[in-house]
Amino acid sequence: MNKILFSLFLASLWSSSYAAIDAELPLEVRIDLLREQLAEQLKNDNNQGIVDLIPQFRALGLAIPDNLYFLEGRALFRLGRALEAQDRLVYYLQNTGREGTYYEEAAELLLAVKEQAQIQAKVREEEERRRREELERRAEKARMLRIREAQRNLYALGFRQSVESGILTKPTREALAIYQIRRDLPVSGDVTDETLNLLKSEVPDNHTCDTLAGYSREPSQSGIPLDDIAATAAIPACNEALRNYPEVIRFQVQYARALVAGGRIEDAKNGIDAAIDKEYPEAEMLMGLMHQRGHLDPRGRGDSGAAMTWFRQAAEKSYAPAQQAIGQMYLAGTSPEGRSYDQAFEWFSKAAELGFAPAQTSLGQAYVAGRGVARDYTTALEWFNVAAQNEYAPAEYEIGQMYERGRGVKRDRNMARVWYRRASDRGHPAAASRLVSLGG
């Protein structure tokens, strides 16, 4: 086979099945294939092809000719990749000196590429700096999430000083150290993998008890009202949760809530003693409700003074439901000081700013009625819409009222029906009634 036919043979191998048979070919044949391909790329002045091909020579694990570094550098220069071109040209000149085949062209190219290479080096340094900063941000975010998760679980297990912040505060370190001592873990006061995994195993994210008797664990959650708790189902579910997770505070409180709904007041009071001792606002809120409803009075009389005391203790810990409860007492005139629209508005505002939908709705109602603040339908509608974002049915109902009556918006019965339907679908009886009245 003459040289031309052999070249055609090699080219056909390259173009058709080279990748598949490459490992089976003798080394010298693979080298010839690459040489033929490189010659073809040089002939066609295909700079990208040259840049893609030369690394395959290196992959053979053999020392490659110095000239390839020049050819690669020139191709990179023509492609605008000055920084990489500079590296190849410097390597070529260092290895060959003035005796190199392409010495003069390489020297000229090196001078021509210098300024562009400096610019690209600065760009690369900036990109690297940004990459490092992004990695650091991601690492810090991941650490904060771990700390928040640990704090949330520690709080659930009775460490009220472990406020969920994502910052490894001194109280959090102390809580971690105590927990690690109690669980025979290495004591570090830090969120180790072993500590976090054990915490997660001891505090379930969800349980049937949460579904049946859950309270507001976050401002965006309104919780299940005491009167809506199905005690016959909630009591055994929460009892089971407590048996399996006896140290989880929320199950203690939710079990007590279920007991209150079932009329077992003394058992409920005893059930939250531990949480009360640790000054958990959720337990203080329940104690206030029991006083307010007269559950703790032999004659069934409500004690507004005791209720307000407990609500204030919880409210001082930024517990939005307690702040809302205080506002409602001032609005209804059942507080020890009597009715005060100004005080009601102030407490609704505190809870609303925390993101508590019931308080946001109450604040909107205050603006509609002009109680404690100048009447302002536009602002009222804004607060109703904020609360409705958390799928809070009373807020959706109020928006329907605004559209039906043309308050803060142009009167629109169709939009009123839309909002009434949303609230009705969530079980709001007044919304269902208005929907029927509007032919919805």
Single residue among 170, 201, 232 that ends a domain in this structure: 201
Pair (16, 107) in one structural domain: yes
Give the model confidence (pLDDT) of 392-407 as tens digits.
999 999 999 999 999 9
Instruction: Say what the pLDDT of residue 26 is.
Output: 87
Q: For residues 124 and 129, what is the distance between their CA atoms, to the nearest angstrom?
A: 8
Token pair of 91 as six digits = 């390597």
Q: What is the CA radius of gyration of the chain?
A: 37
In a domain, 150, yes or no: yes
Q: For residues 258 and 240, what is the distance between their CA atoms, to the nearest angstrom?
A: 13
Pair (41, 120) in one structural domain: yes
The pTM of the whole model exceeds 0.75: no
Single residue among 74, 103, 132 that ends a domain in this structure: 132
Pair (10, 118) in one structural domain: yes
Instruction: Say what the pLDDT of residue 46 is.
Output: 95
Instruction: Say what the pLDDT of residue 22 is.
Output: 63
Distances (CA, A) of 227 to 103, 155, 201, 235, 293: 91, 27, 32, 14, 11
Query: Looking up tokens 């949460």, which residue turns up?
Result: 210
Q: Which amino acid is at 46?
A: N
H or E element that contains 209: helix 208-213
Instruction: Say what the pLDDT of residue 13 is.
Output: 43
What is the total count of domains within the chain? Answer: 3
Instruction: Say what the pLDDT of residue 92 is.
Output: 92
Instruction: Say what the pLDDT of residue 59 is.
Output: 86
In a domain, 416, yes or no: no
Domain that holds residue 254: 206-316
In contact, 303 and 296? CB cutoff 8 Å = yes
Instruction: Say what the pLDDT of residue 57 is.
Output: 86
Instruction: Say what the pLDDT of residue 303 is.
Output: 96
Single residue among 117, 132, 147 that ends a domain in this structure: 132
In a domain, 361, yes or no: no
Instruction: Say what the pLDDT of residue 440 is.
Output: 66
Pair (18, 64) in one structural domain: yes
In a domain, 410, yes or no: no
Pair (35, 24) in one structural domain: yes
Q: Which amino acid is at 130?
A: R
Q: For residues 388 and 360, what is the distance between their CA atoms, to the nearest angstrom?
A: 9
Pair (158, 218) in one structural domain: no
Which among 228, 226, 331 is positioned nearest to 268, based on CA atoms? 226
Q: For residues 440 and 86, what is the distance between their CA atoms, to the nearest angstrom?
A: 75
Domain CATH code at residue 99:
1.25.40.10
Q: What is the mean pLDDT of each run of 10 residues along the chain (440 residues)?
A: 46 41 75 89 92 88 88 93 92 92 92 88 91 95 96 96 94 97 96 97 95 89 90 97 96 97 96 94 97 95 97 96 97 96 98 96 97 97 96 96 96 96 95 89
In a domain, 146, yes or no: yes
Domain CATH code at residue 228:
1.25.40
Instruction: Say what the pLDDT of residue 48 is.
Output: 94
Instruction: Say what the pLDDT of residue 18 is.
Output: 39
Instruction: Say what the pLDDT of residue 1 is.
Output: 43
Which own/partner pairs from 56-64 qualify as long-range (CB within 8 Å, at least 24 positions apart)?
57/31, 60/27, 60/30, 60/31, 60/34, 62/31
